[in-house]
């Protein structure tokens, strides 16, 4: 029993969530453990190996072949003997020819006729023969008009493109992680303020009950206060549920359970924006530029169809009716060069070349569009952030004012100067300002994190 308790005590920390997690530590965990990023890195590796495979085509292909056959086909058997360097005149039926020749000399006219017209039996009806051939073949492309080189460059660029995709996904996950941290900090502040408001409503309820005992308030006043308390309590419960949901999303991003975080300032800092750095670091612009380079490579590939291809090959091997018998005595080699040049393709190559050129021109405009579009989006986000920063200042002042007004009306209610409805209206205004402040802070933070993601301030992968 003690052993089980000890194991349970050791295992408990393994099931407990991460506590007091800092934002920097969370980002490091996301970089290492986020499942989507792991999948993206696997895609990177596959593109890397595709690039290596394309590079390998430059070095040709070396094959080793071992064949074993048995045949009684006349052509095959004679070919086997030739490859084995064992063919003799007897294989042509020389013995039958010489016998007929001797008989012909003796005056046998039938033998004279058979010398040239009778098919020799040893040539046409040979015995079945085994044949084993071992050879090594090497084929090497010497010149392809630049096609292999451009294919290699394209696959290398596609690997780079996959790295950009991973970086963009990483920026998105960092954006989501920061947003989750700021959302949690924001909602915790909201919960704290709601707790104070609920506490104030309870105090107000206590005051109303006291005044009812003294005959200065009615049951409807108590019910009105209780209704407002229930409303505030509902907002409080909803805020706690939103906080739990934010923790669940953060745990999903980090691929591990998170129990608590170190709070951050609920107002994210505004990043510095530089046009030159934006063009140098923005992922979408970099992908568009790389895409332009790839289209130029595609044009070069189509141009190579108008050029000849030159290849070399070499073959070395040996053959016999026994496997690897007298290998060096019966070996043979073949070397050669082939030049192939397409002279006419019905205009297909020319059309494909023009299509590649048009695509290159299209992507040039897409690069310009990406630059102007991203710059416009950044300007828009900056304007919205500045506007919402001003709203935050305004709502903070309005919230402070609403609190003071509520406190003033609560004191005036004690003196019987205002009704409970007036007090609750002012208290509703405080709740309204608190909710507006929370909403505008959340919008502002979201836009700042989006701007950081666009700027890609961490640089390229």
Range in 84-88, 173-177, 332-336, 353-357 with the lowest mean pLDDT: 84-88
Domains, the chain, ordered by start: 17-60+146-307+347-455 (1.20.1600.10)
> Which single residue is written with the structure tokens 């309005």?
398
H/E stretch holding 450 = helix 420-455
Under 8 Å between Cβ of 177 and 27:
yes
Pairing of strands 309-320, 61-71: unpaired
Q: What is the pLDDT of residues 357-374, one digit of tens each?
A: 999 999 999 999 999 999
Residue 310, pLDDT above cutoff 80? yes
Q: State whether residue 93 is helix, strand or coil.
A: coil
Cα–Cα separations (whole angstroms), residue 275 to 170, 233, 237, 283, 320: 22, 48, 45, 14, 75
Give yes or no for residue 15 having a pLDDT over 50.
Answer: no
Reported confidence tier of residue 18, pLDDT bands at 50, 70, 90: confident
Residue located via tokens 């349970």? 8
Mean local confidence (pLDDT), 123-147: 92
Q: What is the pLDDT of residues 217-255, one digit of tens each?
A: 888 989 999 999 999 999 999 999 999 999 999 999 999
Give ∠ CA 222-224-227 in degrees, rounded to 5. 110
**Mean pLDDT, range 326-337, rounded to an integer:** 92
Global confidence as pTM: 0.82
Distances (CA, A) of 65 to 142, 310, 315, 319: 23, 24, 11, 12
CB distance 318 to 134 below 8 Å: yes
Write down the pLDDT at residue 11: 43
Question: What average pLDDT does the chain have?
Answer: 90
CA dist 418 → 43, 240, 413 (Å): 69, 34, 5
């Amino acid at each position: 029993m003690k052993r089980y308790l000890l194991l349970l005590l050791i295992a408990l920390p393994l099931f407990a969530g991460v506590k007091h997690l800092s934002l920097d530590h969370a980002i490091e965990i996301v970089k290492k453990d986020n499942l989507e990023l792991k999948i993206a890195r696997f895609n990177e590796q596959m593109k890397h190996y595709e690039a290596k495979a394309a590079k390998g085509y430059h070095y040709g292909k070396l094959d080793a072949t071992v064949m074993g056959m048995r045949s009684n086909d006349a052509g095959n058997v004679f070919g086997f003997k030739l490859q084995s360097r064992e063919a003799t005149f007897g294989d042509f039926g020389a013995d039958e020819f010489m016998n007929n020749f001797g008989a012909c000399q003796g005056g046998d006219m039938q033998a004279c006729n058979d010398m040239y017209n009778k098919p020799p039996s040893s040539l046409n009806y040979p015995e079945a023969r085994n044949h084993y051939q071992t050879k090594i073949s090497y084929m090497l492309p010497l010149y392809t008009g630049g096609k292999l080189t451009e294919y290699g460059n394209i696959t290398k660029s596609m690997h780079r493109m996959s790295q950009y995709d991973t970086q963009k996904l990483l920026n998105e996950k960092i954006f989501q992680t920061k947003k989750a941290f700021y959302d949690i900090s924001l909602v915790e502040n909201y919960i704290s303020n709601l707790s104070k408001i609920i506490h104030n409503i309870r105090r107000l309820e206590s005051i109303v009950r006291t005044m009812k005992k003294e005959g200065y308030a009615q049951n409807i006043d108590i019910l009105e206060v209780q209704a407002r308390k229930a409303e505030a309590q509902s907002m409080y419960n909803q805020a706690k549920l939103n906080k739990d949901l934010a923790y669940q999303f953060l745990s999903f991003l980090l691929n591990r359970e998170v129990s608590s975080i170190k709070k951050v300032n609920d107002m994210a800092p505004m990043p510095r924006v530089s046009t030159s750095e934006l063009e140098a670091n923005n992922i979408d612009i970099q992908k568009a530029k790389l895409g332009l380079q790839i289209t130029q490579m595609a044009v070069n590939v189509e141009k190579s169809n108008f050029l000849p291809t030159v290849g070399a090959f070499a073959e070395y091997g040996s053959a016999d009716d026994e496997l690897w018998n007298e290998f060096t005595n019966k070996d043979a080699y073949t070397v050669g060069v082939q030049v192939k040049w397409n002279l006419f393709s019905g205009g297909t190559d020319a059309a494909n070349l023009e299509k590649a050129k048009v695509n290159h021109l299209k992507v040039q405009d897409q690069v310009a569009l990406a630059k102007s579009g991203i710059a416009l989006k950044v300007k828009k986000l900056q304007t919205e952030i500045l506007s919402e920063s001003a709203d935050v200042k305004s709502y903070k002042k309005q919230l402070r004012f609403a609190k003071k007004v509520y406190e003033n009306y609560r004191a005036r209610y004690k003196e019987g100067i205002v009704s409970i409805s007036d007090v609750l209206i002012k208290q509703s205004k405080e709740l309204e300002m608190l909710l507006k402040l929370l909403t505008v802070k959340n919008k502002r933070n979201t836009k700042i994190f989006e701007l950081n993601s666009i700027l890609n301030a961490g640089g390229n992968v």
